[in-house]
Structure 1
Amino acid sequence: MTDPATFDPASRPLPEVPGVLSRDQARATGEWIASVQRPNGQIPWFTGGHTDPWDHVESAMGLSVGGQWEAAERAYYFLRDTQRGDGSWPMRWQDDVVEDAGIDANYTAYVAVGVWHHFKVTGHQGFLREMWQCVRRALDLVLRFRGPEGQIWYSRGEDGELRREALVTGSSSMHHALRCGTLIAEELGESVPDWEITADQLGEVIRTRPELFSPKDRYSMDWYYPVLGGVVVGEDASARIDGRWGDFVVEGLGIRCVDDNPWVTGAETCELVLSLEAVGRHAEALEQFTNMQHLRDDDGSYWTGLVFADGKRWPVELSTWTAAAVLLAADALSRATPGNDVFRYVSNDTAAKLGR
């Protein structure tokens, strides 16, 4: 299979959305994310900012789509080399200093999504084998956060105390991670039945037991993430998106992060694009992707958000994970790399399991 070290960078596929994002612009965005990466592979939120494991993986996925395959692998090897004995990572680093040593189950799980995505993009079997034990330890730890009714508790503090609270967004992302981990295992001839069983149980309680989850309805992520994570599919997914479209979508600008503030954010808008693509609503996905391009800067980076009531950038930062979300959305729209279906495939797999 492909080894990035021997694969001509000029031949690597790059997304292109005609009239919105060119291949050269996509390449520039990938190069910008790589410019923020630290020498040890760590990818902070922005130059000089902090790092968390989830957004680090999201940024690495952007590197894969942006043709920066070697930089992406350095990012994953950073996780392999810093993984703690229990399979977790700290919630937050500043440079190389741990600022929060607690465990977030979703932060821990997301490495499986990134590793599977990078393998799909590059075909690099050796990378998949090198990362397998890291993925296995991470997802095995997530299983230890299971609650009594199929939910997954979201965190354990620095004091070692388990926070017995389940969140819709994080749980939907963990559902996706468990599915991707199962696909990695199948590719390598490994058996992990507990991951698939846990994903099935988790998906069922997200769909049918909302009382088990802390209410976070003001956040757009709780609206679309069950679709993005492949939990809610088909007509149910479209109905969910339609149900709160008017609360979050701002004409011509993208979507709100929260429903009660005049603030649109690029990453959330691009995640909605991915969700729309997962349910076959391409025209709406393309429109939202087009609408959020006002956040693009000249060097290929993206501002995190815009307070549209006064036209000000907020926060005043160019975030790596926003740029990565743009590249992932562009890939889903253009079907450019073999990893473009990393969200759609899981959604379709769940639909097949549910007979929809």
Structure 2
Amino acid sequence: MITREHVLQTALSIAAIQEDDGGVPWPEGHVDAWNHVECLMAMSVAGLEDEVERGYAWLEAHQREDGSWPMKLVAGEAVERGGETNHAAYVAVGVWHDLLVTGDLDNARRRWDMVKKALDYVVDLQTPRGEVVWERDALGRPSGYALLTGCSSIHQGLRSGVLLADRLDDPQPHWELAADRLANTLQNTPEAFADKSRFSMDWYYPVLGGAVRGDLALDLLDKEWDTFVVPGLGIRCVSDQPWVTGAETCELVLALDAVGDRERAERLFADMQHLRHEDGSYWTGWQFANLKHFPHERSGYTAAAVILAADALSGFTQGAGLFRDIPVSGQSHPFQYDKRA
């Protein structure tokens, strides 16, 4: 099992790639709000307060008037100007997590206006059926479709926002209503989402994001287990390629932990440790037919997912239950999502 010392070493590998303005980039050099927040959450677990503060300052500096962030920024400049809804929603998860870890209400209050603008941007792009379209483009036009993975993450963002609102005594009942409607759509209306079923994320994210729990969640995870899980290595990113990825594996670990399946969670977490580099960073993935790391990079977001999974399994911080403790709405029907059936 990963120790606190391992977590700190891995968090320092994230801090090492943080840019001067506070952004945490992909290996390709761009920053997006979702992966940036994930990295801030990981550094918060390790107690890197200054780096986390700089990261939230980056978010505040780049949030637009409508509450969104540009899809991609390089050196602080937008290179893709559309605004993804799941990027905006995840900021609420980050701020809620930081409050759980640090107990610092003052920080949460300072970031509250940013969260409110972000989640109102998200709710404004919810359809009458309940799904949230994936973006508003650079010209301000809403997308014509929604993504299952993105909406599952948005569900967690809305629930986190509601919890944060209650702690700050500023209730936002429209977020709770939006989360309930979104959960119902995720549980019962597979046709609401574009078909991305070859990606493992579309398999486990309804559980990870809290929309599906209990026996329904266990059934869902069992359904595609053999499709995506490669014993001893981790899980495939996509069903049709001999390629396991660390971030997806650790997200599945978090989903398993959230539904009480500790045995499989711990086994998978141990399996993916072959991706750990001696400096504490993590290779993004492993191509097990060619026996090569692919892509040939060590990514901050992979390291971040490892730290969050380690915290969930070992309880290093008060944020360890972040994914486990998402409030759940009613599940009136069996979960039917299977585009390949």
Q: TM-score, normalised by structure 1?
A: 0.91
- Structure 1 stretches of 4+ moved >4 Å: 353-356
Q: State how far apart, in whole Å, the 1-side matches of 2:53 and 2:258 are.
A: 27
Residue 98 of structure 1 aligns with which residue? 78
Which of 19, 27, 47 is matched with 1:38 structurally? 19
Q: Which residue of 2 aligns with 1:350?
A: 328
Describe the shift of the 1:355–1:189 C-alpha distance in structure 2 as closer, same or farther (beyond 3 A). Answer: farther
CA distance in 1, matches of 2:304, 2:14: 8
Q: 1:168 corresponds to which residue?
A: 148
> Which residue number corresponds to residue 229 of structure 1?
209
* Ranges in structure 2 where 5+ consecutive residues have no aligned partner: 334-341
The residue type equivalent to 1:241 in the other structure is L
1:27 aligns to 2:3 (yes or no): no
**Matched residues in 2 for 1:355 and 1:77: separation?**
42
Equivalent positions of 1:17-96 (< 5 A) are 17=1, 21-46=2-27, 49-96=29-76
Quote the sequence identity (%).
48
Instruction: For residues 34-71 of structure 1, give each alpha carbon's deviation from its aligned partner in whole angstroms, at most 9, with x where no partner exists.
Output: 1111121111013x611111000011111111221221
1:131 corresponds to 2:98: no
Q: Map of 1:258-297 to 2, 5 A cutoff?
A: 258-297=238-277
Match of residue 340 from structure 1 = 320
Question: In structure 2, what is the equivalent of residue 316 of structure 1?
Answer: 296
In 2, the alpha carbon distance for the partners of 1:266 and 1:66 equals 19
Alignment of 1:220-259 (within 5 A): 220-259=200-239
Moved more, 25-34 or 233-242: 25-34
- The SS at the match of 2:163 is helix
Q: Which residue of 2 is the match for residue 331 of structure 1? A: 311
Tell me the distance in 2 between the aligned counterparts of 1:175 and 1:250. Answer: 28
Q: What secondary structure does 2:325 align onto? A: helix
In the other structure, the counterpart of 1:4 is: none
CA deviations 1:281-332 (Å, max 9, x no partner) are 1011000000001111111100100101011111111100100000000000
Structure-1 separation of matches of 2:141 and 2:64: 17
- TM-score computed with the length of structure 2 as normaliser: 0.95
Distance 2:144 2:200 in 1: 23
Q: CA offset at residue 215 of structure 1?
A: 1.1
Instruction: Tell me the CA shift for residue 208 of structure 1.
Output: 0.4
Q: Tell me if the contact between 2:184 and 2:331 (Cα under 8 Å) persists in the aligned partners.
A: no
Matched residue type, 2:8: R
Deviation at 1:159, TM superposition (A): 2.8
Q: CA RMSD in A?
A: 1.3
Q: Partners of 2:332 and 2:125 in 1: how far apart?
A: 29
**Residue deviations 1:247-291, cap 9 Å, x none?**
000010000000000000000000000000001010110000000
Q: Secondary structure at the match of 1:252?
A: coil
Corresponding letter in the other structure for 1:24? E
Offset of 1:81 from its aligned partner? Answer: 2.0
Aligned-pair CA distance for 1:162: 1.5
- Name the residue aligned to 2:338: none
Could you tell me which residue of structure 2 aligns to residue 147 of structure 1?
127
For 1:350, give the aligned amino acid: V
Measure the CA separation in 2 of the matches of 1:65 and 1:311. Answer: 33
Kindly tell me the number of residue pairs found equivalent between the two proteins. 333
What is the distance in 1 between the residues matched to 2:325 and 2:278? 33
